[in-house]
Amino acid sequence: MRFKYIFLLAFVVISFISCIDDTKVEFSEINITTPKNNIVEINIPKASGVKTVAQNINSTITSGIIDYLKVGDLDTIPKSSVEDAINTFNNEYENFKTDFPESAIEWDAQIDGEVMYHSEVVISIALTAYQNTGGAHGILNISFLNFDVETGKLISNENLFSDFSAFKEFAKEYFKKEIAGNEDQYFEPEKFTMPANIGFDDEGVFLLYNTYEIAPYSTGLTEIHIPFDQVSILLNYM
């Protein structure tokens, strides 16, 4: 009988370990390009592990990259893959050079992805995209993507918190401290709005405002860090 219990205990332990392994998600960095590509550089994390979870994460990242590479009226043209989007971007540049042979403008685009935070319940990934198709300067945009580890599905900003309104009031005070003395660099500093991008890093909650979101291009990005120990009570994913 004693051996029976030992066997049962071993079976439970092995099953538990297997469940942990089955829910594990790992990332490796990949570079995506095509034979026709000369002006687009893409380096992003690719998820592996549980098939459905990895597929959900990779699909969301792919959609974001395709959106970044859209140019002008091409917003209405669907692209089935990142490779299609890369080739379309290159083709549009070739068309531009044909139409304006005297122009010295050179196009380029770069997209980099980084896993900012990876816990047992949430994964935060930052996509940094730069695109230059002429004009006074290129366009830089950073997006935070927060994924549920169990499903690989995106988590909305509101669902990151048990009380989003309470967190907003908390973040407002950090925002005031961040811009103190530089209020004249912002559009409406007295009217606090939450950023489109909220994520996590090893230190805590990371809020990021892209250029033009709350200030002119010359102000650059505005970043706010709030330590975990200050807002842990409001977090749904801890």
User: What ranges in 23-159 are assigned the alpha helix state H?
Assistant: 51-68, 82-99
CATH code for the domain defined by 156-238: 3.90.640.20
Q: First vs last Cα of the chain: how many Å apart?
A: 42
Residues 6+ apart with CB under 8 A from 100: none
The per-residue pLDDT for 136 is: 77
Domain edges within the chain: 23-155, 156-238
CATH superfamily placement of domain 23-155 = Fervidobacterium nodosum Rt17-B1 like (3.30.565.40)
- Give me the tens of pLDDT residue by residue for the chain, a chain 238 residues long: 444 444 444 444 444 343 444 458 999 999 999 999 999 999 999 999 999 999 999 999 999 999 999 886 655 555 689 999 999 999 999 999 999 999 999 999 999 999 999 999 999 999 999 999 987 788 999 999 999 999 999 999 999 999 999 999 999 999 999 999 999 999 999 999 999 999 999 999 999 999 999 999 889 999 999 999 999 999 999 7
**42 dihedral zone (left: phi>0; alpha: psi -120 to 50; beta):** beta
C-alpha–C-alpha distance, residues 29 and 143, integer Å: 18
For residues 141 and 138, give the distance between their C-alpha atoms in angstroms, rounded to a whole number: 10
